[in-house]
């Protein structure tokens, strides 16, 4: 039998880390076994579900390269299907109409709590033979004895006494189906064979199994993945980094880094930390899913992202950089006007920054001084005051003719050798010129290698920046 998995988000908000991990595990499980991965949008909450959230979820899945096969199924378009199956249960005696109001049901539960019993609906309409009516709901006529058990792919054998489960509502008083009914009908209709989801759904699973049995359908395999916690072991929240998936893109993370991180957040293969997508597909199994909550670690995600930045082709990163450059300039810079965004030039800058950047936002900030024309170079005032003093100006002025005479700036080793010869002649240490030259070229005290930087800037731009720095000192 071909395995079919699914991801079923509710479009009441954006796709967050927990949902993305569930989608990834379901996708990997399907791909590992040559099966099919499907998408269902559970948009029955008419007030909170939005098209914008639906679009954002699909966009995030595409960015992570977790696109589902076929066309997405939308629950909001399937109410007739759900209600036809509810009618079938009514006809076969596996469901009944209930006239109890919400207040009456709550009173039943309160009484049960006071008596030390399981708080649930007491079944008073179960055998009344009621029909449709204003304010009435349809309830499932569940078994009142016995046990519902299943082998959870993550948690192991799980069993619930049927007497602990009340007769759940299948159709609300407004005619809309409830979550458990819709999910069972959808998973059966879509041919889903494995349901891998968060462990907040564990309590729903025995209820859904009873529905499968009532319909006479095959029950899928279930697996429930523990939640993700913050470093303080509290429920993951925004203060821990629980952002939407696309916010991680905005923060400069690569999709393969986030996929690798999410895969290791509750799954393992020995001590290996870095996995290509192909390795994840080949190695993934539910047997290696952890049964304890995972802890979200931003530093580890940054470490992985730095690795993938180092491993990426410069041309690919160069194509991504413009998205981050507008926010990388000095305060008030809100566009890319005047920046040199030639793809070839950007690709020549990237290798200098790959060993230093943990995110594309950092890379863009580091790249900014390469891209502005000399007249717009932003100088750090403290750096100028400390490193472009009169003595430094004299050294730069003496170096200028040497750099003017250098024929080929693409050979940065020749620039370095010429500089070293100048220093040797004056019995000077490299630090005497390093920071003054760096501030002159970049406006700041931290940058890639000086001569590699001059090689990328080129002769004309490098000389213009040194001359501008000398004029700045004179002022």
Active site residues: 238
Dihedrals phi, psi of 123, to nearest 5 degrees:
75, 20
3-state secondary structure of 345: helix
Q: In which element (H, E) is residue 170 found?
A: strand 169-171
**CA 100 – CA 166 distance, rounded (Å):** 14
Contacts with 92 (C-beta within 8 Å, 6 or more apart), sequence order: 214
Secondary structure string (H, E, C) spanning 91-125 = HCCCEEEECCCHHHHHHHHHHHHHCCCCCCCCCCC
Using a 10 angstrom Cβ sphere, with 0-12 exposed, 13-18 middle and 19 or more buried, the burial of residue 236 is: buried
Coil, helix or strand for 171? strand
* Rounded distance between C-alpha atoms, residue 405 and residue 27, angstroms: 60
Beta bridge partners, 40, equal 73
Q: Which two tokens stand for residue 203?
A: 């309590």
Burial of 460 (0-12, 13-18, 19+ CB in 10 A): exposed
First to last CA, the chain: 80
């Amino acid at each position: 039998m071909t395995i079919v998995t699914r991801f079923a988000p509710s479009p009441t908000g954006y796709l967050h880390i927990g949902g993305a991990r569930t989608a990834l595990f379901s996708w990997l499980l399907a791909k590992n076994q040559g099966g099919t991965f499907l998408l269902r949008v559970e948009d029955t909450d008419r007030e909170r579900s939005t098209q914008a959230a639906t679009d954002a979820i699909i966009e995030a899945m595409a960015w992570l390269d977790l696109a589902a096969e076929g066309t997405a199924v939308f629950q909001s378009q399937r109410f007739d299907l759900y209600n036809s199956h509810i009618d079938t249960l009514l006809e076969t005696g596996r469901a009944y109409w209930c006239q109890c109001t919400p207040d009456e049901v709550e009173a039943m539960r309160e009484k049960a709590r006071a008596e030390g019993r399981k708080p649930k609906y007491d079944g008073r309409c179960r055998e009344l033979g009621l029909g449709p009516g204003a304010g009435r709901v349809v309830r499932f006529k569940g078994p009142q004895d016995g046990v519902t058990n299943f082998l959870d792919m993550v948690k192991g054998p799980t069993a619930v006494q049927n007497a602990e489960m009340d007769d759940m509502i299948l159709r609300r008083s407004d005619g809309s189906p409830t979550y458990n009914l819709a999910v069972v009908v959808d998973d059966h209709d879509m041919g889903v064979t494995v349901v891998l989801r968060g462990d907040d759904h564990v309590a729903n699973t025995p209820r859904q199994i009873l529905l499968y049995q009532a319909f006479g359908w095959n029950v899928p395999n279930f697996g429930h993945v523990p939640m993700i916690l913050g470093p303080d072991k509290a429920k993951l929240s925004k203060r821990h980094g629980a952002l939407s998936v696309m916010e991680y893109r905005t923060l400069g993370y690569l999709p393969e880094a986030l996929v690798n991180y999410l895969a290791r957040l509750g799954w393992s293969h020995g001590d290996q930390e870095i996995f290509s997508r192909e390795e994840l597909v080949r190695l993934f199994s539910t047997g290696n899913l952890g049964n304890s909550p995972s802890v979200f670690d931003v530093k580890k995600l940054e470490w992985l992202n730095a690795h993938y930045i180092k491993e990426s082709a410069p041309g690919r990163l160069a194509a991504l950089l413009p998205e981050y450059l507008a926010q990388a300039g000095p305060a008030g810079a809100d566009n890319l006007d005047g920046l040199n965004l030639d793809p070839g030039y950007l690709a020549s800058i990237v290798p200098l920054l790959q060993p230093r950047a943990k995110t594309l936002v950092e890379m863009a900030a580091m790249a900014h001084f390469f891209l502005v024309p000399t007249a717009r170079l932003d100088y750090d005032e403290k750096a100028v005051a400390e490193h472009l003093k009169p003595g430094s100006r004299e050294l730069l002025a003496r170096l200028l003719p040497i750099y003017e005479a250098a024929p080929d700036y693409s050979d940065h080793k020749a620039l370095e050798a010429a500089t070293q010869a100048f220093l040797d002649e004056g019995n000077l240490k490299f630090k005497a010129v390093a920071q003054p030259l760096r501030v002159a070229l970049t406006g700041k005290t931290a940058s890639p290698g000086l001569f590699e930087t001059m090689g990328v800037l080129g002769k004309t731009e490098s000389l213009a920046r040194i001359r501008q720095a000398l004029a700045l000192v004179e002022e």
